[in-house]
Structure 1
Amino acid sequence: MTMNNRTIAGSVGILLLFLGSWEWGPAAMGMPEYVLPNLSHVWHEFFVMWNNSELLKHTLITAVEVLLGFGIGAFLGLAIGVALGLSPAAEAMLSPYILALQIAPKVAFAPLFVMWLGYTIYPKILVAVLIVFFPVMINVLSAVRTVDPDMVNLIRIMNASRWQIFRLVEFPSAMPALFSGLRIASTLAVIGVTVGELVGGNLGLGYLLVDSEGQGNTAGVFVAIVGLTLIGIVAYGGVVLAEKRVLHYMPKANLATA
């Protein structure tokens, strides 16, 4: 059996162990259903919510919010990270304000966004944008600022323009750090959207989570949590796939593993 096959077999074994523990563990520990429902109960509740609570609709809404928040936040993080990386003066001038905004708990902005924009999808997207922005921006900024100066000097000797230096040296050098930030941001986007839905909203998996909690439906809470987790896994997997396609020319040891 090859290393790859052993890895897959090990992962499947851990998954089966987890699912088995979830199915029979609560009863073995004497755990009441309203505290920790077993897997069968959660599975049954999934079909109930699918038929009666428009689970697919709420899942798609959350997925769209995550996609938009992630995309907008990543684009802003990339653009501002590059701009500040290329301009030390601008970074020095803006760094105190960027640091203050980074330190501020981003989820605390969710109620404010709801007050401004109402119970729409926009507050959820904005929270996701705010959370996604920083890891992408910081990674890109650091990468642009640490480009090998010898490479820059070499291409300058060849009479390259400022745009060519950026396109041929600085931006490609920042790509691994960019994808490292995108991996982190893809999971944080789900957190941002969920917080926005928890604070104010009548759509999305976060809303279903709050609704199930209000009804004392623990199995429904688990259904929402599993749905959010799957969205995060898909988002993370999409970033990993894009990274492999874009950075296929780089040795595996050099790829970001965050």
Structure 2
Amino acid sequence: MKKDASTWISSGLVLLVFLMLWQWGPVVLGMPEYVFPQFTRVVQEAGHMWSNSDLLGHFWITTLEVILGFVLGSLLGIFFGVVLGLSPKTESVLSPYILALQIAPKVAFAPLFVMWLGYTIYPKVLVAILIVFFPVMINVLSAVRTVDPDMVNLVRTLNAGRFQIFRLVEFRSAMPSLFSGLRIAATLAVIGVTVGELVGGNKGLGYLLVDAEGQGNTAGVFVAIAGLTLVGLLAYWAVVWLERRVLHYIPRANVTTV
């Protein structure tokens, strides 16, 4: 659903108030720059990092890592969600191990991946895959398990084979839940990549964040955080855009619009 003019104006006013508080709040509260820099100081630092620290290059490296981690983690989640959803016995066998993998703190894996794979793109992508995998898998598994049996029986009476039942009924029924999982996964992928870059990165926005923190450059930390937030927003909006085109057949009242 498209936002009307009043919604856009209201959103713009909220942003304006936020920026005004950011600009003059530290001055009113007497906060030194190294604690909470003003908005204009952060903008100046962003320009400096753009010119001298290759901010755009680091931004695209992080974006690439997020895309790879999100896509690969989502594909694994879809695959295991479908397999476990269609085979309760397989779920009984594998679910303890999948649950253990989910419970294990992902931050703890990042140093291990760096030790194995070095300061490359692969540790960051692997951490993102681990974080993305579970929400996608759970959503798909639950959706496949709750398919209307009457619809399955109806298609079966039309002499549909097992793959046709899956393609026409089970997978289509799982699509709304799948995209709900993908929305969550899009933001979690940024967290996974950031953790990897913080632990063992020599490129990317996470690396810039650590570098700025080491220099006591609070404005630079804010720039890196803003860049990571932008990457997350772009990933989320991409999923929303795709959802609206894939699920165009579902009434708008049943499709979330955030």
Q: TM-score range by the shorter chain?
A: over 0.9
List per-residue Cα deviations over 1:104-156 (Å, max 9, x = no partner): 11222111111110111100000000000000000000000100001001111
Q: Which residue of 2 aligns with 1:72?
A: 72
CA distance in 1, matches of 2:26, 2:100: 45
1:100 matches 2:107: no
CA distance in 1, matches of 2:112, 2:126: 11
Q: Which residue of 1 aligns with 2:53?
A: 53
CA distance in 2, matches of 1:138, 1:229: 25
RMSD over aligned Cα, in angstroms? 1.3
Q: Which residue of 2 aligns with 1:146?
A: 146
Q: Aligned pair in 2 of structure 1 residues 245, 3: CA closer, same or farther (>3 Å)?
A: closer
1:177 touches 1:256 (CA, 8 Å); kept in 2? no
CA distance in 2, matches of 1:192, 1:6: 36
Aligned residue-pair number: 257
Q: Which residue of 2 aligns with 1:124?
A: 124
Q: Aligned pair in 2 of structure 1 residues 231, 82: CA closer, same or farther (>3 Å)?
A: same
CA distance in 1, matches of 2:138, 2:3: 35
Q: Which residue of 1 aligns with 2:230?
A: 230
Matched residue type, 2:11: S
Give unmatched runs, 5+ long, in structure 2: none
CA distance in 2, matches of 1:255, 1:123: 35
CA distance in 1, matches of 2:255, 2:97: 31
Give unmatched runs, 5+ long, in structure 1: none
Secondary structure at the residue paired with 1:89? helix
1:176 touches 1:247 (CA, 8 Å); kept in 2? yes
Q: Which residue of 2 aligns with 1:194?
A: 194
List per-residue Cα deviations over 1:17-52 (Å, max 9, x = no partner): 001110111001101000000001000000110111
Question: Structure 1: which 4+ aligned runs deviate by more than 4 Å?
Answer: none
Secondary structure at the residue paired with 1:216? coil
Matched residue type, 1:23: Q
1:110 touches 1:196 (CA, 8 Å); kept in 2? yes
1:34 matches 2:34: yes
Matched residue type, 1:250: I
1:61 touches 1:204 (CA, 8 Å); kept in 2? yes
Structure 1 residue 254 displacement after superposition: 2.3
1:127 touches 1:193 (CA, 8 Å); kept in 2? yes
1:176 touches 1:256 (CA, 8 Å); kept in 2? no
1:180 touches 1:257 (CA, 8 Å); kept in 2? no
Structure 1 residue 7 displacement after superposition: 1.4
Q: Aligned pair in 2 of structure 1 residues 3, 70: CA closer, same or farther (>3 Å)?
A: closer
Q: Which residue of 2 aligns with 1:43?
A: 43
Matched residue type, 2:78: L
Q: Which residue of 2 aligns with 1:254?
A: 254
Q: Which residue of 1 aligns with 2:173?
A: 173
Structure 1 residue 6 displacement after superposition: 1.7
List per-residue Cα deviations over 1:161-208 (Å, max 9, x = no partner): 001100100000000000000000000000000000000111000000
CA distance in 2, matches of 1:99, 1:47: 45
CA distance in 1, matches of 2:137, 2:115: 27
Give the TM-score normalised by structure 1. Answer: 0.97
Give the TM-score normalised by structure 2. Answer: 0.97
Q: Which residue of 1 aligns with 2:159?
A: 159
Identity %: 71
CA distance in 2, matches of 1:220, 1:28: 22
Matched residue type, 2:171: F
Structure 1 residue 81 displacement after superposition: 0.6
Q: Which residue of 1 aligns with 2:133?
A: 133
Structure 1 residue 252 displacement after superposition: 2.1
